[in-house]
Amino acid sequence: MELYELEAVEAVTTRPLHQYDTLVVQQITPVIGAEVSGLDLSQELSEEQLADLKNAFLDHHVLVFRDQVLTGEEHKRLAAHFGELRPVNPPPLEGDPYILELRTTVAAADVNGNGWHADGTADEEPSLGSMLYITQVPESGCGGDTLFANMHLAYSMLSPALRGMLDELTAIHDGALAFQGRTPPREDYVIPVSEHPLVVRHPETGRKLLYVNGAYTSRIPQLSQRESRALLDMLIETVPSRPALQCRVRWEPNTLVFWDNRCVQHHATYDYYPFARYGQRVAINGGPLRG
């Protein structure tokens, strides 16, 4: 690796982490993800537990909780501690307007999120984060893992000269890209398009992060078409080509994962055909994105 890449990794692996009084945190990798134990998420959490949880979320970006038995209402109550609940869009025809069901039926041709992305970045204000609660894992007993990548590190591993240039640019995020020629789910669904800084500052920590993803980012308006395509392809390729940015979460029944959608990309893995998988996701509203 180049010296600036090593320095970027070192800055993350030696970052100061909070001390937690009410929970146990075990890192999944030195740069992203942690398993959290000592909490029953179906219960109302104390102020101290919530403070520890918020610090752990900012420290590790992806938190994994095992053996949780939650109703939809308890799932929503937990998410509401982090912000306003985000309605599912387009709204489900039946069921709870805040709970997105992720159901892979037996022998489905594909699954939601089977590619690196952050959720809804074509929206003007994408979500703060999501809590995905998986209750049914594939009958094969394995498969269906979710991968996560640290976009702070993706940014800081770029050369200082390139970072300086990216700091001045914006990018268009186009919801039509995610449909890839397929018709949107509903006739009344308005496909969102937004322009965001290419390098965003995390609203709570102030740390910079690379804000492009292959599912939604279509163009850098300050560059020619050819330059924009070449630069986006290179930046988007950063995540799949660098395992050092990533962690992989293996699901067990009754696992809840809470990820920070502002600084993390994720990828559902469809390696369990022809088996089924089921979970429910509650998302939290985010605020404006600033460079």
Does residue 108 bind ligand SIN (CB under 6 A)?
A: no
Give the Cα separation of 199 and 11 in Å (integer): 18
Closer by beta carbon to ligand SIN, 133 or else 155 = 133
Does residue 105 bind ligand SIN (CB under 6 A)?
A: no
Q: Is 75 a catalytic residue?
A: no
Q: Of 117, 152, 173, 202, which residue is the catalytic one?
A: 117
Q: What is the DSSP letter of 117?
A: B
Q: Of 52, 77, 86, 119, which residue is the catalytic one?
A: 119
Site string for ligand SIN, 120-139 (x = CB under 6 A): ------------x-------
| Residue of the chain from 64, 79, 256, 268 that contacts ligand SIN (CB under 6 A) | 268
Closer by beta carbon to ligand SIN, 20 or else 82 = 82
Among residues 158, 168, 169, 151, the alpha carbon closest in space to that of 209 is found at: 151
Among residues 36, 266, 37, the alpha carbon closest in space to that of 130 is found at: 266
Give the Cα separation of 166 and 172 in Å (integer): 14
Q: Is 266 a catalytic residue?
A: yes
Least Cβ distance, residue 45 to ligand SIN (angstroms): 24
Least Cβ distance, residue 56 to ligand SIN (angstroms): 21
| Residue of the chain from 51, 58, 102, 172 that contacts ligand SIN (CB under 6 A) | 102
* CA dihedral for 233, 290, 116, 63, sign (positive or negative): positive
Closer by beta carbon to ligand SIN, 146 or else 246 = 146
How many Cβ atoms from other residues are within 10 Å of residue 191's Cβ? 12
Closer by beta carbon to ligand SIN, 74 or else 145 = 145
* Residue 194 identity: S
Q: Tell me if 213 sits within 8 A of 251, measured CB to CB.
A: no
Q: Looking only at residues 129 through 188 of this chain, which bind ligand SIN when binding is defined by CB under 6 A? A: 132, 146
Closer by beta carbon to ligand SIN, 64 or else 166 = 64
Q: Is 119 a catalytic residue?
A: yes
Among residues 194, 212, 62, 66, the alpha carbon closest in space to that of 135 is found at: 66
- Cβ partners under 8 Å of residue 68, min gap 6: 40, 41, 42, 133, 254, 255, 256
Catalytic residues: 117, 119, 266, 281
- Give the binding site for ligand SIN (CB under 6 A): 102, 112-113, 132, 146, 266, 268
